[in-house]
Amino acid sequence: MQLPHILQGDSPARLAQGAVAGAVLAIVIGFGWSGWTLGSTAQQMAQDSANHAVVAALVPICVERFHDGAEAKAKLVALKATKSWEQDSFIVKGGWATFPGEAEPNRGVASACANMLSAAK
């Protein structure tokens, strides 16, 4: 079997083809299977991780504030009677997801707090 002309002998064109093929292969393997990411993707992942850490740290405080409030047992019954997709709004309206130094409530904390309170017996 005879090879095509482009595959025969040493030439700068063959060298360039090999370099391009190697670069493409390295990029495909690196980004596809080796976990390489772009800077913007890494930054977004770091931001998401930080947000999850903040929520995880503040949810116990939200639950504690809920239980320390007046008529906590009655409010817990009212929270459990509320539809699941409205429970975070119940927490926000109660003020348990608004922390000192913040003007707005943290919706992630409100949602996780509602889930934790609803799961409590």
pLDDT digits (tens, 9 = 90+) for 3-32: 777 666 677 777 788 889 999 999 999 888
User: Does residue 15 belong to any structural domain of this protein?
Assistant: no
Asked if residue 108 belongs to a domain, the reply is: yes
**Domain-located, residue 39:** no
- In this predicted structure, the answer to whether residue 104 has a pLDDT above a threshold of 80 is yes
Q: Do the domain assignments include residue 17?
A: no
Residue 120 pLDDT > 90: no
Burial of 108 (0-12, 13-18, 19+ CB in 10 A): middle
Give the per-residue pLDDT at 16: 82
Which stretch of DSSP H or E encloses residue 53? helix 39-68
User: Does some domain include residue 26?
Assistant: no
Structurally, the chain folds into a number of domains equal to 1
| pLDDT at 13 (0 to 100) | 76
- 20 part of a folded domain: no
pLDDT band at 1 (very low <50, low <70, confident <90, very high): confident
Q: How confident is the model over 64-94, as pLDDT tens digits?
A: 999 998 899 999 999 999 999 999 999 999 9
73 occurs within a structural domain: yes
In a domain, 97, yes or no: yes
**What local confidence, expressed as pLDDT, does residue 6 receive?**
65
Domain extent at residue 69: 48-119
Q: For residues 106 and 108, what is the distance between their CA atoms, to the nearest angstrom?
A: 6
